[in-house]
Amino acid sequence: MNIILIDDHALFRIGLEGILERRGITVIASIGDGEEGISLTQEMKPDIVLLDMRMPVLSGTQVLKKMRDLGIEIPIAVLTTSNEETDLIESLRNGAQGYLLKDMDPDDLISALHDIIRGKTVVAPELTTVLAKVVQQGSHLSDKKEDPFAELTPRELEILCHVADGQSNKVIAKNLGISDGTVKLHVKAILRKLDVHSRVEAAVIAVEQRLCDNMKNVQS
């Protein structure tokens, strides 16, 4: 696994580099500047980017948004000390595939990085209750258009409700009697039409807008 580390604290970077490299992960770049991190990510194409949240000039969220706006699809994990709900949701909304805390056990960090590369969205265990609360109750951070689901087909709406219920592609495919590949294509279309970067973001929007409640009312 090749990784780029972007964090403005040099001592932390040096320590983390050692931890990662002792576990067989190659740190191909380690920098404290967000703009340089964006350029190196485009140039070196790592397997994953590990990004600090609190940085001068460009914050981690700004770096993340710039990378996604530039079409960089490399997995990005935020590694931070912040357990604030707003930071977690803003990171996921801007395309982070992971939100991890700096005090986590090194082996858990390595496991999380491997899961993220395999396509999972990973949130630090301490924050799962925060995420669950947001998904269940809705966040007030949404700035999406009034009807974000207008472009979705009936099948895509149905699949989005399963995603919002926390189901994996495999489970959705089994429930609907279709293939995993078909579900994956639908999910990609849903993310594109909603203009989001992860299924967690899509699920939050669906809950905020009470999509699945509305669909149940229509069906009943």
Residues of the chain with pLDDT under 70: 130-147, 214-220
Q: What is the pLDDT of residue 214?
A: 59
Q: Which residues pair with 50 in a beta bridge?
A: 5, 77
Determine the CATH number of domain 154-214. Answer: 1.10.10.10
Residue spans of the domains in the chain: they are: 2-135, 154-214
CA–CA gap between residue 80 and residue 111 (Å, rounded):
17
Two tokens, residue 112: 């999380």
Give the pLDDT confidence of 145-187 residue by residue, as tens digits: 456 788 889 899 999 999 888 888 899 999 999 998 899 999 9
Nearest to 103 by CA among 81, 87, 85: 81
Nearest to 37 by CA among 70, 78, 4: 4
CA–CA gap between residue 56 and residue 58 (Å, rounded):
6
Q: What is the pLDDT of residue 219?
A: 47
Q: Which residues pair with 51 in a beta bridge?
A: 6, 78
Overall fold of domain 2-135: Rossmann fold (3.40.50)
The number of residues making up the chain comes to 220
Q: What is the pLDDT of residue 139?
A: 47
Q: What is the pLDDT of residue 165?
A: 85
Give the pLDDT confidence of 73-84 residue by residue, as tens digits: 899 999 998 888
Two tokens, residue 67: 């990378």
Q: What is the pLDDT of residue 203?
A: 85
